[in-house]
Structure 1
Amino acid sequence: MKSPHLADNVIPPSRQREPARSSAKWIGKSMPRVEDPKLLTGKGRYIDDLSVPNMAHAAVLRSPYAHARIVRVDTSRAEALAGVVRVVTGRDMSEVAASAVSFASPPITQHPMAIDKVRHVGEVVAAVVAEDRYIAEDAVELIEVEYEPLPVNSDPEVAMQATGDGVIHPTERESNVAYDETFDWGPVDEDFAKADLVVRRQMVWGRSAGTPIETCGAIAEYDDANGYTVTSNSAFGNFIPWVIAGCLKVHPTKLKLVGVTNGGSFGTKVLLHKIIIMTAGLARLSGRPVKYIEDRLEHFLSSDGHGPDRRYDAELALKRDGTMLSLRFKVIDDYGAYLHFSVGTNGNPLAQVVGPYKINSVGMHLIAVLTNKCQQGPYRCFGAECGNFVIERLVDVAARELGMDREELRLRNMIQPDEFPYMIPTGNIYDSGNYQAVLEKAKALIDLPKWKARQAEARAQGRRVGIGLATCQERSVYSPTEWWFLNPVKTPGFTLTSAPEAVQLRIDGSGHFYCQLQTPFIGTSSETMVTQVLCEQFGVAPTDIAIGYSDSHTGFNGIGANGSRFTVMIAGACVTASYRLKDRLKRFGAHLLEASVGDVEVADGAVRVIGTDRQKTIAEIAIMANFFRKAFPDTPEFDTGLETTAVYDHPLATEPHPERKHLGIFYPIMGHQCHIAVVEVDEETGQVKILDYAAVHDAGTVVNPRTLDGQVVGGTANGIGTALMEEFIYDAEGQFVNANFGQFCLPSSHDVPHVRTAHLETPSPFTEYGIKGGGEGGRMSAPAVLASAIEDALSPLGVEIMQIPVPPPRLRALIRNARSKA
């Protein structure tokens, strides 16, 4: 029964047109990626492959201080260096560029270059435009800046108490607490009062970020007649160019954003607002086209994609029989110096906050703190991975305290297959699932009985072998209400509700298909997905289809491959476009076949009269429809051409309650996964070796098993790094002490085992073909399952893993502490 606070959150009827089916010819097949030939032969054009005539290059001077006033900037020596075109300070930049984009409300001002004050190490203070990057770098070293150091906020709990000069944005916030709100979704206090057991733990999630092979960059051109043309490796080109135009103080028609092949993202390139605005401003001020690309240190220090940096105090209420009643937590999140995406990384996990379990109520006390560090931004999972870690850790603790098997406690509380769609206390829904079957399939995949026997043998030999299990959600296909529903109710900001994806589709006179996507290629399999859907719709071959990309002047709204949404959304847009073109094909084909439109169908690359062998191929119809207008009636429905544009909106969303009693349906296409890991811990060194790993995912209808397996394995490798080694460390003075790959370690092939993968499909009843998202799933579970496995390995010592990452020194400290108490 639905809780009273959810009474007005009604699930809209499905708008699905293409249900899942077993007869599909292309959907569900492991087709080779159509993107790969150009990438493997070096034909992909990345940002640093590009140049334009008369192009200059930029380098920037970044602050060595975490918090300081800028007293004086002397650029004279840099300006005198041969080959320097222009030296630009923050004040110069303010002539042509306003503050950057902010989704916070009220916003926090962030200039593309600091003007009077720096707020984190690495913030841009000045820039040099020169004939080449070498000269620009040399000139940067000649700029003299006088700073007046200010108190540094490195610890968020200390920063909360700062006053006076310790306040980072004193003209916009009275303190460094940017957000402090408490929510109850459902009868939290009553449910805790009913509990026989409350398990409570403090947890820490360490800061890290995506580190793609290619860093962020842009090439900008400006002239008075045409305005700006900016080419960048942003993943977000066509959605809000008009907002960026406003930041550049020009009319929206005077900014064209052009995407390029992207060398990885993991969320870090979603917008790139600072780089786009700064590079464009440099081009205008210098009178030359300008290229700027971050070096690796700059990407560490000042990217838009630092991930969550959280301290949780979380508790789970249960009955003695293991029934879960309520979850509540206080979270202090270190957002760094700015609030670019508001508190979105804490709104995101509320889509799946109860995991796969029937929990009646949820309470959250969220405190977002500003510190003198690089800002948070989008990073793979956008905070939902932290929520998975919290609920799974609490479930393992509860199982121990109840004397229950971990699997049994999970199975006892899992949502049943006949209970979908299922609405959780925050208002979001889970569209479909069979969580029990996923768990059983994972146990079979890894052969859990075999490993339990081997674990017993290993323990008898004194070896620390542990088995971890995590059953986690992967929300996909967000509604942008998530960007603002946690903002203050009285000042929510830009309350947008559209997050569309679009395609332009045409058939030329030879019968070949040309599809324009509205979002840049960021390394996922977007072209392959589109090809498979169009082949399914028209019965043509992949070689009959060409995929291209629009820019912001020729394209339509498209948000792109972020938030595990693109396959679902682009499939929806392709189905809409296909239906429209098939209607035109049937109209032209029926006329040529002297049949009625109702008597023909599109199948196997042709229009044929149903039940007969009479047909016209698409190529035969296309040449007539494109070049022989007089062969058809003189009425508008036979106007020349076979082309259409289709925009696909969110398949299922509702608005948040005006008083936030619930948050509406905002991330409902719900994947699920069970990961099981076997590890061995070296008690003397703290090293963790992964002996075996199995991942079973339910991403609805699988479009391409080969590419989805790649997403799962890649995400799992990413999550292994998050769990065991990746952490950004700032000292008390706000200095980023490990901003290099020598100290910020990524997992190598030696650290990532062979990951066994399998899939169980419970198609969504709301999306075309029943597809769900799957791009973030591996990282959603790996930290939770590895913490579980390490804890199980060290269970004779009583060690608990409530902080990640857990690199060898941290693990050794936990072991030493446990031994001292033994």
Structure 2
Amino acid sequence: MSQSQPTEVDTETDADSERESFTGQGLPRVEDHRILTGRAEYIHDITPENCLHMALVRSMHAHAEIVGIDASEAEAHPGCELVLTGEDLRGEYNPMPTGIETVTTDDGEEAPIEEWSLAADTVRFVGEPVAAVVATNRYVAEDAADLVDVEYESREAVADGMAAREDEVVVHESVGTNVVDHERLEFGDPAAAFDEADHVVEGEYSWGRISGVPLETAGVVAQYDEEADAFDIDCNIQLHTLVDETIYETLGYDADDVRVNVPADVGGSYGTKIAIHRYCCLAAMASQQLERPVKFEEDRVENLQGGDMHCSERDYRMRMAVDDDGTMCGLDVWFVDDFGAFPRYPVNQVLKPLSVLTNSYVIDDVSYEYDLVLTNKTSQTAYRGFGVDPHIYALEMIVDDAAREIGMDPTEFRRRNLIRPEQMPYTLPSKNLYDSGDYPATLDRIQEIVDEERDGGLLDPEIVEAKREEGKYRGVQPSVIIEPGVSGSDWTDRQRSDREDLEERPREEVDELPEHLRATVGEDGTITAFLATDSSGQGHQTLVSQLLADELEVLPSDIEVDYLDSVDAPTEYGSAASRMAVMLSGATVGVAEKLVRNLEAIAADHWDVSADEVTYHDGVVERVSTSETLLLADLAAIDADGDDHRRSVSYNYDHPATELEEFDEALAQKLPVYPTAAFGANAPIVEVDVETGEVEILTFYTVRDCGTMLNPMIVDGQAHGGIAQGVGAALLEEFGYEENGQPQAITLFDYLLPSIENVPKIEMEHTETPSPFTETGAKGVGEGGMIDAPASIATSINDALEPLGLEAPADRIPVAPDHLRKKIRDRER
């Protein structure tokens, strides 16, 4: 059960205000009614008249040359309208943009990394499309696709990221290497810190491929308009105004000629649908060829096997310099990130961990280095946490190992090194800032909860001892975890920048994307707001209706919230990176202020009085001298007779860090800037069966702080969902591959998702430390549970098995039963 704790700062409402605020209340989500009553429209529900359907022919080889493709039987199949191959695309269209477009070869030449919507010469992962078949319906399309005969010449594959660094098998021969990006950053003087420290602790940790596996897979309906020479594309791509270039550039058109529309309801994404542009392009190409609408819906096997939706897969080598008194002196991070066959958008997830480089600890001297490698696997993309979750996991593991190295209780070791509230705002070595928070108090509170369980509860010494006699070991390790929020956009092309020039880059060159919001007063006096970003179920419509209701002093029920497509909306970052609650707060305040000024101006002109003789309140404009009022409907009717339509306004809210000089250095050098730092302390109590290696989470305790909670119900939902995904990541999920690149998890029988059987009881408390950098004090909250739960579960497993003397038993994610059993067997030998 969630509980609200006393706030850590004064957040009382102004005594003079008599209006109850809707913001901060757990109002039911306006989205839920249409979803629960079956009225929500998904891509599956969109089928235009005369629509054709597409199926894809996919490679079953991880690495092979395409010798030839014979589509004659498919083309002769009744109902088949078109077969497209990679060769068909070369003359009319472009390759798809990649996150790293060129690599400098050993001879100094720039070799491009090209990815086409359909492979023509070489296939580089199982599931890569080699042909698209369009037919009267999906069943016919699938039947015809089976008739396409592709002749391959198999080649050796590489499926291990560490092995790929040796370049014995090269995924892209023209590039000559599998290591397509590398960077080492140093902050402070890490070499001196390690030389002078009393202890240097080393650890190796692995994070396996996982993903969000959304309920609704990728889908697209494309229609080409020959007369306008333009495309209308309905799809469930995420960040549709930011990544639409991956569609229109591939098609070879201008942005205004390719209208991308995302429905209000999408069956989940978590970042995984950012990279579905291949499907959008192929459906659009087929529609252009046939001059009919074309629809494609990815099935579950396609999604899991070759949907370009896997997340980070990393091998870490970490070192920590520690003194005898428990001071963390230095940190050295090195990892290999396996990106699959192509460095897709976005590659910058290897950099985002810099925004929480030292987690909640004071460590001044740090080095951070990575190798971004390619292998014969489906490409990875963003996933909830965006690369921070494996970093936090590996860091918390080395903290555990360091505490045991110096013989200190891991909780006390953490406490001694926590950033303290008087240090806020705190500048990390990597130049990002933490805005506010009391980390020691949060750790103290979670420790109080754990101590209560030691007195007759789950961790009572007698109960723990009795369980051990049954072969079941219980443990818990509290930890404090940070969730960076509200990313900007300027730093996200660091890999494509000349990094040597960044040290001298002037601050004036930084250009951040604002959040766009529109609002208009309708003839009936209701207000419609238009979001420029798409939603993946975060409750944006609810938040805007609450915020705007407060600003305009009307009811949330008087406000409708809709979405803009990619042509009508300006380019903006969109719904990602724990961003929208903060950005929508600022945009809503700004658009409301602008609308109020316009409504007062309409009334002043109508009454022929000066602006200071009218005032807006409670959804009306009042003439001060006479107390006459005009309702919103009256003002809309008056404005309808004019030419300037002042009842419709738009507003662009700038990223919170844009004008803050504290972020100047990070912004100028294209280092990750996340101006809010939500935080929490976790204490999952786990029980490990040493006979089977199975792990059960008995209770997941957590104390969380995301600044001002705009809607506590939504905050709870985001946190519970994130923790559930974190449980899956820690214990169940993994896209494993055989040595020859064949995927091992292409159905939900193989890829194990958490359910009511293994998502534990979550006991959640909240504190509130508003951010000084944001309009409402809110911080990002969308990625927290996934960022912090795996690390907390792993360290609790370490604690549970400490009596056995195992060395870092949870040194890989997922911590699968066979992994733990092997650790136990090795010790017994």
Give the TM-score normalised by the residue count of structure 1: 0.92
Q: Give the residue type in structure 1 aligned to 2:267.
A: G
| SS of equivalent residue, structure 1 residue 755 | strand
| SS of equivalent residue, structure 2 residue 494 | coil
Q: Is the contact made by 2:355 and 2:430 (CA closer than 8 Å) also made in structure 1?
A: yes
Q: How far apart, CA to CA, are the structure 2 residues paired with 1:152 and 1:73?
A: 22
| SS of equivalent residue, structure 1 residue 484 | helix
Q: Give the residue type in structure 2 aligned to 1:241.
A: D
**Does residue 443 in structure 1 map to residue 430 in structure 2?**
no
Q: Give the residue type in structure 2 aligned to 1:40.
A: L
Q: Is the contact made by 2:666 and 2:672 (CA closer than 8 Å) also made in structure 1?
A: no
Spell out, residue by residue over 1:446-502, the C-alpha distance to the aligned partner (whole angstroms, 9 max, x if none). 645547883422332124111122211100111123322244626999x98433321
Going from structure 1 to structure 2, the CA distance change for 1:492 and 1:258 (only over 3 Å counts) comes to farther
Q: CA deviation at 1:277?
A: 1.1
Partner of 2:13: 22
Q: Is the contact made by 2:184 and 2:367 (CA closer than 8 Å) also made in structure 1?
A: yes
Partner of 2:109: none
Q: Is the contact made by 2:101 and 2:114 (CA closer than 8 Å) also made in structure 1?
A: no
**Does residue 58 in structure 1 map to residue 67 in structure 2?**
no
Q: Is the contact made by 2:309 and 2:382 (CA closer than 8 Å) also made in structure 1?
A: yes
Q: What is the percent sequence identity of the aligned residues?
A: 35
Partner of 2:655: 650
Q: CA deviation at 1:618?
A: 4.1
**Counterpart mapping for 1:614-653 below 5 A:** 614=627, 616=629, 618-619=631-632, 622-623=635-636, 625-627=638-640, 639-653=644-658
Q: How far apart, CA to CA, are the structure 2 residues paired with 1:217 and 1:709?
A: 29
Going from structure 1 to structure 2, the CA distance change for 1:179 and 1:414 (only over 3 Å counts) comes to same
Partner of 1:177: 179
Partner of 2:397: 393
> Which has the higher mean CA deviation after the structures are superposed, 536-545 or 220-229?
220-229
**Counterpart mapping for 1:503-522 below 5 A:** 503-522=517-536
Q: CA deviation at 1:264?
A: 0.6
> Which has the higher mean CA deviation after the structures are superposed, 344-353 or 480-489?
480-489
**Does residue 528 in structure 1 map to residue 542 in structure 2?**
yes
Going from structure 1 to structure 2, the CA distance change for 1:459 and 1:552 (only over 3 Å counts) comes to closer
Going from structure 1 to structure 2, the CA distance change for 1:532 and 1:414 (only over 3 Å counts) comes to same
Partner of 1:809: 818
Q: Is the contact made by 2:346 and 2:382 (CA closer than 8 Å) also made in structure 1?
A: no
Unpaired runs of at least 5, structure 2: 1-9, 15-19, 103-111, 503-508
Q: Is the contact made by 2:303 and 2:309 (CA closer than 8 Å) also made in structure 1?
A: no
Q: CA deviation at 1:228?
A: 1.0
**Does residue 132 in structure 1 map to residue 137 in structure 2?**
yes
Q: Is the contact made by 1:420 and 1:432 (CA closer than 8 Å) also made in structure 2?
A: yes
Q: How far apart, CA to CA, are the structure 2 residues paired with 1:252 and 1:641?
A: 28
Q: How far apart, CA to CA, are the structure 1 residues paired with 2:662 and 2:417?
A: 28
Q: How far apart, CA to CA, are the structure 1 residues paired with 2:667 and 2:527?
A: 46
Q: Is the contact made by 1:481 and 1:656 (CA closer than 8 Å) also made in structure 2?
A: no
> Which has the higher mean CA deviation after the structures are superposed, 455-464 or 615-624?
615-624
Q: How far apart, CA to CA, are the structure 2 residues paired with 1:491 and 1:730?
A: 37
**Does residue 247 in structure 1 map to residue 261 in structure 2?**
no
Q: Give the residue type in structure 2 aligned to 1:372.
A: N
Partner of 1:7: none
Q: Is the contact made by 1:105 and 1:492 (CA closer than 8 Å) also made in structure 2?
A: no
Structure 2 residue corresponding to 1:235, chosen from 232, 235, 238: 238
Q: How far apart, CA to CA, are the structure 2 residues paired with 1:278 and 1:243?
A: 12
Q: How far apart, CA to CA, are the structure 2 residues paired with 1:554 and 1:660?
A: 29
Structure 2 residue corresponding to 1:329, chosen from 329, 333, 342: 333
Q: Is the contact made by 2:305 and 2:745 (CA closer than 8 Å) also made in structure 1?
A: no
Q: CA deviation at 1:606?
A: 3.2
Q: What is the Cα-based RMSD across aligned positions, in Å?
A: 2.5
**Counterpart mapping for 1:560-575 below 5 A:** 560-575=574-589
Q: Is the contact made by 1:588 and 1:621 (CA closer than 8 Å) also made in structure 2?
A: no
Partner of 2:299: 295
Q: Is the contact made by 1:470 and 1:781 (CA closer than 8 Å) also made in structure 2?
A: no
Going from structure 1 to structure 2, the CA distance change for 1:618 and 1:428 (only over 3 Å counts) comes to farther
| SS of equivalent residue, structure 1 residue 770 | coil
**Counterpart mapping for 1:664-743 below 5 A:** 664=671, 666-743=673-750
Partner of 1:212: 214
Going from structure 1 to structure 2, the CA distance change for 1:184 and 1:786 (only over 3 Å counts) comes to same
**Does residue 284 in structure 1 map to residue 298 in structure 2?**
no
Structure 1 residue corresponding to 2:555, chosen from 521, 541, 556: 541
Q: Is the contact made by 2:519 and 2:649 (CA closer than 8 Å) also made in structure 1?
A: yes
Partner of 1:224: 226
Partner of 1:792: 799
Q: Is the contact made by 2:64 and 2:122 (CA closer than 8 Å) also made in structure 1?
A: yes
Q: CA deviation at 1:444?
A: 4.2
Partner of 1:467: 476
Q: Is the contact made by 1:475 and 1:667 (CA closer than 8 Å) also made in structure 2?
A: yes
Unpaired runs of at least 5, structure 1: 1-18, 630-635
| SS of equivalent residue, structure 2 residue 56 | strand
Q: How far apart, CA to CA, are the structure 2 residues paired with 1:775 and 1:539?
A: 28
Extract structure 1 runs of 4+ deviating beyond 4 A: 490-493, 589-596, 598-601, 653-665
Give the TM-score normalised by the residue count of structure 2: 0.91
Q: Give the residue type in structure 1 aligned to 2:383.
A: Y
Going from structure 1 to structure 2, the CA distance change for 1:593 and 1:317 (only over 3 Å counts) comes to farther
**Does residue 479 in structure 1 map to residue 482 in structure 2?**
no
Q: Is the contact made by 2:426 and 2:434 (CA closer than 8 Å) also made in structure 1?
A: yes
Q: Give the residue type in structure 1 aligned to 2:687.
A: E
Q: Is the contact made by 1:656 and 1:663 (CA closer than 8 Å) also made in structure 2?
A: no
Count of matched residue pairs:
790
Q: How far apart, CA to CA, are the structure 2 residues paired with 1:367 and 1:657?
A: 27
Q: How far apart, CA to CA, are the structure 2 residues paired with 1:36 and 1:659?
A: 40
Q: Is the contact made by 1:60 and 1:125 (CA closer than 8 Å) also made in structure 2?
A: yes
Q: CA deviation at 1:57?
A: 0.4
Q: CA deviation at 1:600?
A: 5.4
Q: CA deviation at 1:135?
A: 0.7
Q: Give the residue type in structure 1 aligned to 2:203.
A: R
Structure 2 residue corresponding to 1:119, chosen from 110, 117, 124: 124
Q: How far apart, CA to CA, are the structure 2 residues paired with 1:318 and 1:782?
A: 26
Spell out, residue by residue over 1:72-106, the C-alpha distance to the aligned partner (whole angstroms, 9 max, x if none). 00001111111100111111123332111223253
Going from structure 1 to structure 2, the CA distance change for 1:303 and 1:243 (only over 3 Å counts) comes to closer
Q: CA deviation at 1:213?
A: 0.7
Q: CA deviation at 1:405?
A: 2.5
Q: CA deviation at 1:594?
A: 8.2
Q: Give the residue type in structure 2 aligned to 1:567.
A: A
> Which has the higher mean CA deviation after the structures are superposed, 424-433 or 101-110?
101-110
Going from structure 1 to structure 2, the CA distance change for 1:564 and 1:434 (only over 3 Å counts) comes to same
Q: Is the contact made by 1:651 and 1:767 (CA closer than 8 Å) also made in structure 2?
A: yes
Q: Give the residue type in structure 2 aligned to 1:152.
A: A
Q: Give the residue type in structure 1 aligned to 2:33.
A: P
Q: How far apart, CA to CA, are the structure 2 residues paired with 1:794 and 1:556?
A: 53
Q: Is the contact made by 1:508 and 1:626 (CA closer than 8 Å) also made in structure 2?
A: no
Q: How far apart, CA to CA, are the structure 2 residues paired with 1:695 and 1:646?
A: 37
> Which has the higher mean CA deviation after the structures are superposed, 566-575 or 369-378?
566-575
| SS of equivalent residue, structure 2 residue 376 | coil
Q: Is the contact made by 2:255 and 2:567 (CA closer than 8 Å) also made in structure 1?
A: no
Q: How far apart, CA to CA, are the structure 2 residues paired with 1:620 and 1:656?
A: 44
Going from structure 1 to structure 2, the CA distance change for 1:765 and 1:358 (only over 3 Å counts) comes to same
Q: Give the residue type in structure 1 aligned to 2:158.
A: N
Spell out, residue by residue over 1:45-94, the C-alpha distance to the aligned partner (whole angstroms, 9 max, x if none). 10011111111001001001000110100001111111100111111123
Q: How far apart, CA to CA, are the structure 2 residues paired with 1:484 and 1:677?
A: 37
> Which has the higher mean CA deviation after the structures are superposed, 26-35 or 238-247?
238-247
Partner of 1:4: none
Q: Is the contact made by 2:96 and 2:249 (CA closer than 8 Å) also made in structure 1?
A: no
Going from structure 1 to structure 2, the CA distance change for 1:153 and 1:542 (only over 3 Å counts) comes to same
Q: How far apart, CA to CA, are the structure 2 residues paired with 1:121 and 1:649?
A: 43
Spell out, residue by residue over 1:679-703, the C-alpha distance to the aligned partner (whole angstroms, 9 max, x if none). 1111111111111111221111100
Q: Is the contact made by 2:80 and 2:140 (CA closer than 8 Å) also made in structure 1?
A: yes
| SS of equivalent residue, structure 2 residue 714 | helix
Q: CA deviation at 1:593?
A: 7.6
